[in-house]
Structure 1
Amino acid sequence: MFSIFKRRAPVTAHVNGTPVPVGSGETLLQAALRSGIDFPHSCRVGGCASCKCRLTSGRVRELTPSGYVLSEDELDQGYILACQSVPSSDIAVEVDLSAAPARRRVPGRVIGQQRLTHDITALRIQLSESLHYKAGQFANLRLAPLGDHARSYSFATDVQPDGQVQFFVRKVPGGALSMLVNEASLVGTEATVEGPLGEFWLRPADAPLLFIAGGSGLAPILAMLGQAARSGCGRPVTLLFGARGERDLYGLEAIQDIARHWPAQFSFLPVLSGPPDADGWQGARGMVGDHLARHVAGDAHAYLCGPPVMVDACTATLTHCGVAREHIFADRFTTIRGQQ
């Protein structure tokens, strides 16, 4: 008797000519890493484009659309994101394996915790040696009480000469690391920071800068601004910061200090999306995207960091306002990305 179920034929991915067997439902990146190929990658959720490669033959099923990460030119050339592509036939891809990040794992110790909001805590770590990274990138963080359990967080400052790093950790219910950071005293706790990771960093140019942050997505933006300020950047800046309520706003003094010393125009607009508070907030309300069109110029370079819904909505608005897709850079924070 014949089975009514059709068995899936084995699929093979050829990575730069090397055959890689792909399991059922497995992404190209998962299969390549399992086979020992040092495939470039960072976030694994389709937000950084580190794993982009060119599909030269075959078909893949995308888990999430890649159009918000890859440029139109890259899409036309057949580029895909390995972490979001499940082969549906035998495929062949070309990838620059030299693009794998030179990450390091550096031990350290927690030397400070500071409550920023009711659900975000700044964690400061003294590393045993300096870790070089670009402001905007992120790292995998491990804390001794949780063993090898790691989560990814953006650096909240640019590289410091004393080897200290800082992360903003938002509490996620049920998230082991985020709950620990926000509820326990960790000063003196051993930690490990592995990085750098990600392609979210400030590209050199003379165009006006537009930063859009939501929640703990302000961390890499502050790091970028700090690095740019110290390097003498004189580009006009507009920063939009979305939060639910006034109690969710933080970093305001740091932003005001940067704006005060910025050599060019610096505009800052906090936007609250929650219902009106009893404290009488008189600032902007709604979603960040609701205010974006009034603050964007077509020649701007945009950097977005925060929840995927915010990033995707603002990206659509930016392209509608004439910002070139290749001038939009984003880091989409998800619980998989590491807010747990």
Structure 2
Amino acid sequence: MFSFFKKSGPNQASINGVPIMVNPKETLLQAALREGIDFPNSCRVGGCAACKCKLVDGKVKELTQTAYILSDEDLDAGMILACQSVPQTNVTIEVDMAAQQARRTVSGRVVACTALTHDIVSLRIQLDDSLPYKAGQYAQLSVDSLPGVDRSYSFATASQPNSQVSFLVRKVPNGVFSSHVHKHDLVGQRASVKGPMGDFWLRPSDAPLLMVAGGSGLAPVLAILEDALAQGVKRPVTILFGARQQADLYAQDTLEALRTQWPAAFRFVPVLSAEPDGSSWAGALGNVDSALAEHLPYGAHAYLCGPPVMVDAVSAVLRDRGIAKEQIRADRFTTLHDSTGAQ
């Protein structure tokens, strides 16, 4: 009996000129790693963009929506996520291996674990060796008491000469790693930090800065501003920080210290979305994107970091108000819970 259905066979992928075979239903990342290619990767579930690469030729099926992770600039350039792309034809891929080669895994010891709010903990680690990074980048973090589990977190300070690094860990519903950090006193435990990763850092310009953050998305903002102050940057800064209630505000002392030292205008505007009626709060209310009309500096370059819904809403408002997409940079804090529905 003849079959009218053609079984799909493997496709060929050329990765920086190196040909490999990709089996049916196999992602580009799975095939590359199987073939021994040191392909950049981190979370492997479409949540971090570490495996970002350019689709030069051919077609792929994307397993998840990548617009939440990739910027408009990336999408226009034909970028895809290798961990979420299954070839439908032979494909040609270009990937920047330099970033992967620059990454290191450095061990250290947790020296401080401080609760900042009910769901955000500051974790400070003394590394055994230096780990150079750009303020705004992130790393893969793991602790010895939770073997085999690591997660991506942005550096919360600029690179320090004493090789200490800090991260803000927000408790994610059912999150294995974040729940472990919040439940246990990790001071004295060994930890590993792999990085740096990401391309969220301050670009040279004289334009006013608009920084918009939500939740633990304040981490890379603090790092960028600390580094910019040290580098003598004199650009006016407006920071919009979205939180639910007054109890969710943190790092106020750090922000005030930055404001007093900053050599230009410096505004910090917290916006609360769920403050109880009748409270003492006299500041802005609503979602953080609703505050843009009043606080958007003319000609600003925007840096957004936080939940994808917030980042996308703010991006849409900025574009509607004439901010070119090339001047909007974003770091979407997507968790495994966001990407897969579970951790």
1:68-87 pair list within 5 angstroms: 69-71=70-72, 75=75, 78-87=78-87
The Cα of 1:147 is off from its aligned counterpart by 1.7
- Tell me the TM-score normalised to structure 1 length: 0.90
Are residues 1:64 and 2:79 paired? no
1:159 aligns with: 159
Structure 2 SS opposite 1:100: helix
Q: Deviations over 1:269-313 (max 9, x none)?
A: 101111525532121111111111332245221111111111111
What amino acid sits opposite 1:256 in the alignment? E
Contact 1:48 1:331 (C-alpha < 8 Å) held by counterparts: no
* Distance in 2 of aligned mates of 1:125 and 1:293: 39
Q: Which amino acid aligns with 1:258?
A: L
Normalised by the length of structure 2, the TM-score is 0.89
- Distance in 2, Cα, partners of 1:54 & 1:186: 40
Distance 2:303 2:151 in 1: 23
Whole-angstrom CA distance in 1 between matches of 2:218 and 2:337: 15
Cα RMSD of the aligned pairs, angstroms, is 2.6
What's 1:328 paired with? 328
Match of residue 279 from structure 2 = 279
Deviation at 1:232, TM superposition (A): 1.1
Q: Which residue of 1 aligns with 2:129?
A: 129
Give the Cα separation in 2 of the matches to 1:5 and 1:279: 66
Quick check: 2:68–2:332 contact (8 Å CA) kept in 1?
no
Equivalent residue number for residue 173 of structure 1: 173
**Paired residue total:** 339
Change beyond 3 A, Cα 1:276–1:227: same
Q: Is the 8 A contact 1:46 1:66 kept in 2?
A: no
Q: Shift of the alpha carbon at 1:42?
A: 5.2
| Mean Cα deviation higher: 310-319 or 95-104 | 95-104
5-14 or 126-135, which deviates more: 5-14
- Confirm or deny: 8 A CA contact 1:66 1:81 kept in the other structure: no
Tell me by how many angstroms 1:101 deviates: 4.7
- Does the C-alpha gap of structure 1 residues 303 and 46 become closer, same or farther in structure 2, counting only changes over 3 Å? farther
1:215 is matched with 215
Q: Structure 1 unaligned segments of length 5 or more: list them.
A: none
Q: Percent identity?
A: 57
Partners of 1:304 and 1:43 in 2: how far apart? 21
Aligned partner letter, 1:113: C
Amino acid at match of 1:144: D
Measured in 2, the distance between the counterparts of 1:54 and 1:26 equals 18
Contact 1:58 1:89 in 2 (8 A): yes
**Superposition map of 1:244-323 within 5 A:** 244-297=244-297, 299-323=299-323
User: Deviation per CA, 1:58-107, whole angstroms, max 9, x where unpaired?
Assistant: 112333244973455x6555443434433222212233433435111111
* 1:231-255, Cα deviation, whole Å (9 max, x unpaired): 1110010100001111111111211
* Greater mean deviation of Cα atoms: 296-305 or 164-173: 296-305
Once the 2 structures are TM-superposed, how far is the Cα of residue 218 of structure 1 from its aligned partner? 0.5
Q: Report if the CA contact (8 A) 1:153-1:167 is conserved.
A: yes
Deviation of 1:257 (Å): 1.4
Counterpart CA distance in 2 for 1:247 and 1:277 is 15
Tell me if structure 2 keeps the 8 A contact 1:107–1:192: yes
Structure 2: runs of 5 or more not aligned = none
CA distance in 2, matches of 1:176, 1:3: 47
